[in-house]
Amino acid sequence: AAQMGVLFRKGDALQLLRDAAVVAVDKTGTLTVGKPQLTDLVVADSFARAEVLASVAAVERRSEHPIAEAIVVAARAEGLALDEAEGFEADAGHGVSATVAGRRVEVGADRLMRRLGLDVDVFADAAARLGDEGKSPLYAAIDGRLAAIIAVADPLKPTSVAAVQALHAMGLKVAMITGDNARTARAIARQAGIDEVVAEVLPDTKVAALRRLAGRGEDGKAAGRRVVFVGDGINDAPALAEADVGIAIGTGTDVAIESADVVLMSGDLTGVPRAIALSRATMRNIGQNLFWAFAYNSALIPLAAGAFYPAFGLLLSPVFAAAAMSMSSVFVLGNALRLRRF
């Protein structure tokens, strides 16, 4: 597994993966490249594009989210000067806010704007278009007024579609759990060939979404399907710990890696079907070894003990018994070593 770039941090994960029924994946950085690019910025009346972009970038410069980095990069590429943001606050799953040059700037999802009492329907057509294109729309408010809709695009990793196809070929259901709006999430899911989408999920509700996919109760105790979760970010850590098997992308955060049972050393999602296939092959190999070891010993131990001597006059010389015992071990070991050619 290590030679294939799959690190099993816990031995039982190698066994549990065999019975996986659903593979749930995070979107940003797992299914996608994780390096979004600013593609659209539509400003409201009475706002200037350069002014809005500079203000939003000044706030996002304090954030570590990939989308924030994309906005900052775009602003610097246009040569805009970024003022210092004061009183920066981040609300997980909603957005960020700060004061820039004496003006209150708030950037985030539509749910943040609704919480501020702002009507985003003015950008409804633009939001629908961007979502259908697989872009993630954000909104910016300046001094309590809706200023712009911003869109970033995060392309799928080149191997994501092949990984999803491989999982389907293995009879597994693939789902995506994301904080993106439903329209954008469905567009990405169509591109990747994903079966089910759970969108607009806040970081603290990913565990509940995972339990629903597994068909379990909210307490997670009821029986359900075995679920594998694949993620890479800090927000994915609780879901990685909750899943029957948590798989972390090796290029992700340390917290995610520490919470996972399996780590993919690269960012290649095809490591997931490899890990599951290896689990199935390993458990099948163990079953073969147990069967032949029991069958071999069940036949030869009575012979060596003289059980057949009274009726058939058959005995097994201690020399041949010792050789047979060694051959039993060699057979089991040789069968196990076939996995090196996996």
Residues annotated as part of the active site: 26
Rounded to whole angstroms, the Cα distance separating 164 from 153 reads: 20
Whether the Cβ atoms of residue 76 and residue 185 lie closer than 8 Å to each other: no
- The greatest distance separating any two alpha carbons of the chain, rounded to the nearest whole angstrom, comes to 106
Rounded to whole angstroms, the Cα distance separating 85 from 164 reads: 41
Secondary structure (DSSP) of 100-113:
ETTEEEEEE-HHHH
Secondary structure (DSSP) of 21-38:
-EEEEEIIIIIB-S--EE
**Among 21, 18, 32, CA closest to 67:** 32
Whether the Cβ atoms of residue 39 and residue 135 lie closer than 8 Å to each other: yes
In sequence order, the 6+-apart residues with CB closer than 8 A to the CB of 208 are 218
126 φψ region: left (φ > 0), alpha (ψ -120 to 50), beta (else): alpha
What's the angle, vertex CA 260, arms to CA 259 and CA 265, rounded to 5? Answer: 125
Whether the Cβ atoms of residue 227 and residue 207 lie closer than 8 Å to each other: no
Whether the Cβ atoms of residue 289 and residue 332 lie closer than 8 Å to each other: yes
Rg of the chain (C-alpha set): 28
Sign (positive or negative) of CA dihedral 32, 34, 40, 44 = positive
